Amino acid sequence: MASVNEAVRLECIADMLQHTGLDRESIETDFLRYLCHFMGRNPGSEDYYLFKALSYTTRDRLMTYWKETWHAYNNQNLKKAYYLSMEFLIGRSLSNNLLNLGIEHEAAEAMHDLTLSLEEIEDSERDAGLGNGGLGRLAACFMDSCATLQLPVMGYGLRYEYGMFRQRIQNGFQVEEPDHWLGTGQYPWEVMRSEYTRVVKFGGASRQYTDPHSGQLTVHWENAEEIQAIPFDVPIPGYKNQTVNTLRLWSASAQEGFNLTEFNAGSYHEAIAKKSEAENITMVLYPNDSSENGKELRLKQQYFLVSASLQDVIAQWKKHNDGFSRFAEYNAFQLNDTHPSLAVAELMRLLVDKEGIKWDEAWKITTQTMAYTNHTLLPEALEKWPVSLFERLLPRPLEIIYEINRRFLMQVAMKWPADLQRQRRMSIIDEHNNVSMAYLAIVGSHSVNGVAELHSNLLKEGLFHDFYEIWPEKFNNKTNGVTQRRWLAMCNPELRELLNDTIGEEWITDLSQLSNLKPYATDAGFQNKWAIVKRNNKKRLAGLIKKQTGVELNVDSMFDVQVKRIHEYKRQLLNVLHVIHLYSRIKRGDMENWTNRSVIFGGKAAPGYAMAKQIIKLINNVAEVVNSDPDVGDKLKVVFFPNYRVSAMEVICPGTDLSEQISTAGKEASGTGNMKFMMNGALTIGTLDGANVEIREAVGPENFFLFGLHTPEVEALRPHYNPQGYIDQCYELQAVMGLLESGHFNQFEPGLFDDIIHSMRSPNDPWMTLADFHAYITEQQIAASAYLNQSEWIKMSILNTACSGIFSTDRTMQEYNKDIWKLTPVSVSLEE
């Protein structure tokens, strides 16, 4: 590579800045140049072209800072962190990038000059749905916060050709459609960097050699299939701070000259078929949230991510350093759940086999650099892979895992001599010959964290107790958050302006400033303004719902919202039972203290999760009966919002009055939807689960609707849980079960909801839905009555926003940095 002197580099930067002015005229000029010259269109053409032209215009303005950020990170000795995640649920980028660049207003005016609407152009961007739900969205929020905090953190993920499926509702059932989010053109935000292509191996065999000269034993991984990992970089701008970090997404491609021998032998079709098999690795995101999958292709995806990313980091390291003695001092890896936990074995392989480092030294480097975040307590989500699959796909990493396990079990035996039971329990390879990815991650990391106080404590007491006993110092908590740039400033512009006018703009980078709102909670004038903003946001949401479902909502009714993945532990069913209860009250004329409600559901079910899909059908059938009953009218409306995704949540959370966070206590690790709602002034009805505990503490119990069993009560009840007992004791529940079991919601579809009914009636129902029913409807009535006193409700709404300051991912990232990564912020400055 040619080396360019510093003066030329600076001249180039100055030139770039000059040609990418942030004013309205420069934006307009560049927009037209892209639209007309590059794409051969004009301002009257389809939104798709307008979106692309404005995105390229915006990307040009990021590019100068992006280059400078790379330069600042690579030309000094500084520690960097790498966030390894199978999912980055980015959503849209145009409006976010305009906001962080500080040119929203200028872009809107430039478009206005051309009689175009910025809002419409932004609305035509497709979501980058490279994730399932909370875990993937968290990774995206983390990236935003790291850039804003000027932390040298890079994200590594996969560039799935097909993201999360699109959900259509047909006759009340979920129908999945492939989401080819890249469209026919390119994703305007990414830059392909083929020069950093890496090669990842699968299959073959591991062989030992003794070097004839040194006598040293080395291991070669031979006859493997080699697949190329091509990086695509996505810019992650900080908020008005000239930092642009990088999210690097790998795309799988067959090696150039792939299987030439087969071509030569005339097996043209076979060779091409193999090529597409290689490219299958990053073809599609697995659409399972909180459940492991066990598919071979999934394991391949995980190893592909880990191997390409670690090779990439090591190659960068070797450009500037000799040897690895200081590697751990300058590099940190954060594993987002167990999905990338093969990084432990892969870093060992690269250091020992490729770099010739001794095992003990390599193990020290590995454990000092790796940190693992656990995201779930659900046993069905704990990843385990059969040894036989490893033998076939990853023979050399398997050998390394065996050796890690052998040494680890020796350590266990030293600490607890003769406790064979414990050794068996803790083995990374379990009694059924499966590799436990969580155990591999814990053994290979110096830090293990949960994602909310309650969750982190439950890890220590339960799931990982044995490991906690050996290494109490590894365990820590990092309560999740969300970025207020996207989830308040961007998605709720009217509230943003009200906040700016009231407490200034500092909250955008320091969310604790929101506490300055507290004195305004009882100010009648401010309450009025707050109410107007909320009402406008409800109108916007109602408009979207009308467009998507045809159902018209009364903006003055309470908007009661549960949107999240459909899963039994999240208990959408409990919410449905409450809806049926309200319907049954209307039918019997029990209208005392009534509050009109619009109950909004949304979320995707994993395509193979039959019960979750049945729950969607039940919601839609109940909605159909309720919405078409003339006795009900405006008193109650029920809708299922189709294709819930990031861009939908950006309209939903500002327009919500009541946020449903009703999982069985001890099952939701944290939740982050709960935080988005709180920030936007919704009140929460919820169980003591995940981050709800901390939300309630922050806002005060008088501003939170709590109900239900606590975690220890759930566990104590489990052995003698008797659903029938709860039905016998509660006439409201009898009425609800009566309607459901009579087939009232499936008149022409007999037996359709039998599985749901059986699951709720089963003494083995893990989610114990009926146990919390009475407490839930009681608390719902308290919430409904509270809503009737609008001034009191608005006060609580203001306080929820005012107390949401700790739920910023800025705070979360500062904690990761202080306790785990220990990076120094780098300021990127282009003033000269």
For residue 482, give the DSSP letter. B
Contact 683, 783 (CB under 8 A): yes
Site for ligand PLP in 115-134 (CB under 6 A): 133-134
Site for ligand PLP in 137-196 (CB under 6 A): 137
Nearer residue to ligand PLP within complex by CB, 227 or 247: 247
Helix (H), strand (E) at residue 643: none
Q: Name every residue whose Cβ is closer than 8 Å to that of residue 826 and which is 6 or more positions away in sequence.
A: 69, 72, 73, 76, 78, 150, 151, 152, 243
Return d(Cα 676, Cα 437) in angstroms, integer: 31
Q: Nearest distance from residue 608's CB to ligand PLP, in Å?
A: 19
Return d(Cα 309, Cα 286) in angstroms, integer: 20
Stretch that binds ligand PLP, among 193-201, 261-269, 513-521, 668-676 (CB under 6 A): 668-676
Per DSSP (E only), the strands in 437-573 are 447-450, 475-477, 558-563
Nearer residue to ligand PLP within complex by CB, 103 or 541: 541
Return d(Cα 796, Cα 682) in angstroms, integer: 9
Tokens found for residue 342 = 């093969």
In the stretch 678-697, what mask flags binding to ligand PLP with x, by CB under 6 A?
Answer: --------------------
> Among the options 61, 375, 396, 795, which is catalytic?
375
Q: Is 570 a catalytic residue?
A: yes
Helix (H, G, I), strand (E, B) or coil at 323: coil
> Among the options 676, 687, 809, 812, which is catalytic?
676
Return d(Cα 335, Cα 584) in angstroms, integer: 48
Return d(Cα 743, Cα 757) in angstroms, integer: 11
Q: Nearest distance from residue 677's CB to ligand PLP, in Å?
A: 9
Residue 671 interacts with ligand PLP (CB under 6 A): yes or no: yes
Q: Nearest distance from residue 291's CB to ligand PLP, in Å?
A: 14
Return d(Cα 557, Cα 637) in angstroms, integer: 9
Among 155, 172, 237, 673, binds ligand PLP (CB under 6 A): 673
Q: Nearest distance from residue 155's CB to ligand PLP, in Å?
A: 17
> Among the options 339, 474, 565, 645, which is catalytic?
565
Return d(Cα 561, Cα 832) in angstroms, integer: 50
Q: Nearest distance from residue 124's CB to ligand PLP, in Å?
A: 19
Which residue has 């018209």 as its token pair?
552
Return d(Cα 378, Cα 462) in angstroms, integer: 12
Q: Name every residue whose Cβ is closer than 8 Å to that of residue 575 and which is 6 or more positions away in sequence.
A: 562, 599, 601, 660, 662
Q: Nearest distance from residue 683's CB to ligand PLP, in Å?
A: 15
Q: Name every residue whose Cβ is closer than 8 Å to that of residue 203 and which is 6 or more positions away in sequence.
A: 223, 224, 225, 392, 393, 395
Contact 810, 481 (CB under 8 A): yes
Nearer residue to ligand PLP within complex by CB, 652 or 786: 652
Nearer residue to ligand PLP within complex by CB, 366 or 812: 812
Tokens found for residue 303 = 């190893």
**How many residues lie near ligand PLP (CB under 6 A)?**
12
Contact 93, 181 (CB under 8 A): no
One-character DSSP codes across 127-188: PEEES-SHHHHHHHHHHHHHHHTT--EEEEEE--SB-SPEEEEETTEEEEE---TT-SS--T
In the stretch 614-653, what mask flags binding to ligand PLP with x, by CB under 6 A?
Answer: -------------------------------xx--x----
Torsion over CA: 95, 96, 99, 100 (sign): negative
Q: Is 565 a catalytic residue?
A: yes
Strands 658-661 and 475-477: unpaired
Q: Which amino acid is at 167?
A: Q
Residue 672 interacts with ligand PLP (CB under 6 A): yes or no: yes
Nearer residue to ligand PLP within complex by CB, 163 or 673: 673
Stretch that binds ligand PLP, among 298-306, 620-628, 669-677, 717-725 (CB under 6 A): 669-677
Helix (H, G, I), strand (E, B) or coil at 416: coil
**For ligand PLP, which residue has the nearest CB?**
673
> Among the options 148, 672, 769, 809, which is catalytic?
672
Return d(Cα 28, Cα 278) in angstroms, integer: 43
Q: Is 80 a catalytic residue?
A: no
Q: Nearest distance from residue 645's CB to ligand PLP, in Å?
A: 5
> Among the options 339, 570, 581, 637, which is catalytic?
570
Tokens found for residue 263 = 């071509």
Nearer residue to ligand PLP within complex by CB, 530 or 705: 705
Residue 602 interacts with ligand PLP (CB under 6 A): yes or no: no
Q: Is 564 a catalytic residue?
A: yes
Which residue has 């512009």 as its token pair?
493
Q: Is 384 a catalytic residue?
A: no
Which residue has 């992650």 as its token pair?
236
Nearer residue to ligand PLP within complex by CB, 672 or 703: 672
Nearer residue to ligand PLP within complex by CB, 227 or 693: 693
Q: Nearest distance from residue 615's CB to ligand PLP, in Å?
A: 15
Q: Name every residue whose Cβ is closer than 8 Å to that of residue 790 and which is 6 or more positions away in sequence.
A: 531
Return d(Cα 278, Cα 257) in angstroms, integer: 13
CB environment 447-459: b (16+ within 10 A), e (fewer):
bbbbbbbbbbebb
Tokens found for residue 420 = 């064979």
Q: Nearest distance from residue 498's CB to ligand PLP, in Å?
A: 23
User: Under the phi-then-psi rule, with left for phi > 0, alpha for psi from -120 to 50, and beta for the rest, what region is 165?
Assistant: beta
Q: Nearest distance from residue 86's CB to ligand PLP, in Å?
A: 15
Nearer residue to ligand PLP within complex by CB, 691 or 784: 691
Q: Nearest distance from residue 378's CB to ligand PLP, in Å?
A: 13
Return d(Cα 179, Cα 284) in angstroms, integer: 9
Strands 244-254 and 225-237: antiparallel
Nearer residue to ligand PLP within complex by CB, 408 or 707: 707
Nearer residue to ligand PLP within complex by CB, 509 or 674: 674
> Among the options 460, 564, 581, 597, which is catalytic?
564
Q: In the chain, what is the greatest distance between 2 CA atoms, to the nearest angstrom?
A: 93
Q: Nearest distance from residue 394's CB to ligand PLP, in Å?
A: 31
Q: Nearest distance from residue 145's CB to ligand PLP, in Å?
A: 15
3-class SS shares of the chain: helix, strand, coil, % to 5:
55, 15, 30
Catalytic residues, which ones?
Answer: 375, 564-565, 570, 672, 676
Positions in the binding site for ligand PLP (CB under 6 A): 133-134, 137, 564-565, 645-646, 649, 671-673, 676
